[in-house]
Structure 1
Amino acid sequence: MRGSEFAELRAFAEVARRQSFARAAEHLRVAPSTLSQTVRALEERLGITLLSRTTRRVSLTSAGARLLERFAPALDEMEAAVAEAHDGRARPRGVVRLHALRPAYAGHVEPMLGHLRETLPDVTLDLTVDDAPLDVAASGYDLIIRRAPFVDDGMVAYELGSDLRHAAVASPGYLATCDVPASPEALAKHRCILWRPAKGETQRWRFEVAGEAMTVAVAGPLIVSHCEAAVAAALQGVGIAFVLQSYAVPFTDSGRLVSLLAEFLPPLAGWKLCHPRQFRLTAAARAVADVLTHSV
């Protein structure tokens, strides 16, 4: 295979995997126009259309899907061999794109920012902290932090910390005005601070009673999308908040909030550091993953 043929095939594979000329060009460090010309040259040489292009997205044709299926494993092996040879003589460098939900960022990324800088001085971390839904395969991120139940077979996942737990909390001032709830059902008589993820539905609160999972629909004067907002409202006596325990602990330890219904709140599967299975991690991304997963 001539060098130009390999370059064309690699360009096609990157565009197909990332479903975007712009994201593939960023990864390959070439101009999008150059990448488009390279893929077009491959299509003209083969006499077939490999990619269907619209103003909104790029997708594989049936011929393109067959070619990618046959060629991608060989490309991965070649790139892995080159990366292993390179990693043996050079420290990781380059840009690593990481997506983290806000609670995962607060618990596992923010405390490590300084350490990442000291350990990987030639790596630039391009960090997005966002709770909006994400199309993993098309996102272009090298690493993504998700909760274990939302990791599917299309992702490779690494443990990132232990199990999580929710906490139901209220201020002493609020509890002085009403009966302390003794069971999840009693929440129906209380003002609750509802939680709704970005672009999602208001969530029911989840408990475990006598070994059986149950959910409770609550009502109240405030709906929030972040734990910090729920905690702030609870501190001001708005009502009962239902948040990840890590957000509540500083305030329950100081007595500014009171923990409720703890015996009905079981552990939850924790965070995973993931990447799409079809993408081989760069040396820089592997190094960032190593730092984050070995910090727990």
Structure 2
Amino acid sequence: MRGSEFADLKAFVTIAERGSFSGAAKMLAISPSALSQRMREFEARLGVRLLNRTTRSVAVTEQGQALLNKIVPLFGAFDQAMAELIAPEAEVAGSLRLNLSRVAALYLLAPHLRAFHHAYPAVTLDITIDDRFSDIVAGRFDAGIRLGEALERDMVAVRLGGQRESMVVASPDLLARLGEPESPRDLHRFPCIRFRWPGAMNIYRWEFERDGEVVEADISGPLIANDTAMMLTAAEQGLGLAYLLDIEAAAHIKAGRLMRLLSDWTPPFAGFYLYHPNARQMPKQLRAFIDFLGGRLKS
């Protein structure tokens, strides 16, 4: 159906319900003469008279009534569909496709899955865990969660939580044997557990900064992994020093299984962001998710 035909049908239904051109014209915000002309042209295209007009009244013809009986329920269904689109938050429903780094999935989202489900039981979270720099638009995701430095361009970004820090950690046993590095330049003397981004060939170079001085450490060691959980386990077993986010290492440090090193060389940075395409109308389930998770991760 063309847009003009929909408008003509809507005008016809309004005239029939109001019983006059003047009342219908007021509701449709057009002049009575323009409305009358529109109906004459509509009837001419159909080859059917829908309305009988006199100087005092307007009546629906038999054929017009037959048309009304079919299209009024359709307009009712259309109005209901529109109402459901703007339903209150309690009625939020549908699927929400998210692309998250492994760290974001495990430490930011996973602890709140149950609470989100209780708040929005009709929303299905469709989660892809991916440490590559994926294009969420090409992948048809509603949103992603990454560190701020890894955000895609031309995205709307919402910060989740406070600042984060990178940490160099090692097991107490390893440090008892080898001592501690005093600066990043000492790391060449220590075995280190290196990280390779999934899908990439290059190995991540550890980054340090203090008082405006920036150092990138070219380290070596017995293990290269593309998963930080493996790196944590290896560090606890004393295979070498590891370079991880505070959100991953904090519990292990608190339990005494790891010790933090070079803390004055790893200043805090912005942290994690939820990001999504800049669309005019945000899906209501995404709006609910942003408000929910953002509220829980405030700090």
Q: TM-score, normalised by structure 2?
A: 0.69
Letter paired with 1:166: S
Task: Output the CA distance in 1 between the equivalents of 2:191 and 2:5.
Answer: 66
**What secondary structure is seen at the aligned counterpart in 1 of 2:182?**
coil
Task: Output the CA distance in 2 between the equivalents of 1:91 and 1:161.
Answer: 27
Deviation at 1:194? 0.3
Aligned to 1:168: 168
Unaligned runs of 5+ in 2: 7-81
Aligned to 1:237: 238
Aligned to 2:248: 247
Task: Output the CA distance in 2 between the equivalents of 1:154 and 1:216.
Answer: 32
Aligned to 1:275: 276
Deviation at 1:3? 4.9
Tell me, yes or no, if the aligned pair for 1:160 and 1:272 is still in contact at 8 Å: yes
Aligned to 1:124: 124
Tell me, yes or no, if the aligned pair for 1:188 and 1:219 is still in contact at 8 Å: yes
Q: How does 1:1-296 map to 2 (within 5 A)?
A: 2-3=2-3, 86-88=86-88, 91-200=91-200, 201-278=202-279, 280-296=281-297
**What secondary structure is seen at the aligned counterpart in 2 of 1:128?**
strand
Tell me, yes or no, if the aligned pair for 2:136 and 2:142 is still in contact at 8 Å: no
Deviation at 1:270? 0.8
4+ residue segments displaced more than 6 Å: none
Deviations 1:231-265 (A, max 9, x none): 10011110101111121111211211111111111
Letter paired with 1:248: A
Tell me, yes or no, if the aligned pair for 2:99 and 2:136 is still in contact at 8 Å: no
Shift in alpha-carbon separation, 1:89–1:138, aligned structure 2, 3 A: closer
Deviation at 1:153? 4.5
**What secondary structure is seen at the aligned counterpart in 1 of 2:296?**
coil
Shift in alpha-carbon separation, 1:143–1:240, aligned structure 2, 3 A: same
State, as a whole percentage, how many aligned pairs show the same letter: 37
Deviation at 1:90? 6.3
Letter paired with 2:232: V
Deviation at 1:156? 0.9
**What secondary structure is seen at the aligned counterpart in 2 of 1:268?**
coil
Deviation at 1:149? 1.9
Task: Output the CA distance in 1 between the equivalents of 2:176 and 2:89.
Answer: 65
Deviation at 1:132? 2.2
Letter paired with 1:220: G
Task: Output the CA distance in 2 between the equivalents of 1:221 and 1:151.
Answer: 31
Deviation at 1:155? 0.8
Q: TM-score, normalised by structure 1?
A: 0.70
Task: Output the CA distance in 2 between the equivalents of 1:160 and 1:113.
Answer: 16
**What secondary structure is seen at the aligned counterpart in 2 of 1:177?**
helix
Letter paired with 2:222: P
The aligned length equals 221
Task: Output the CA distance in 1 between the equivalents of 2:233 and 2:90.
Answer: 47
Tell me, yes or no, if the aligned pair for 1:133 and 1:198 is still in contact at 8 Å: no
CA RMSD between the two structures: 2.2
Shift in alpha-carbon separation, 1:120–1:189, aligned structure 2, 3 A: same
Tell me, yes or no, if the aligned pair for 1:142 and 1:281 is still in contact at 8 Å: no
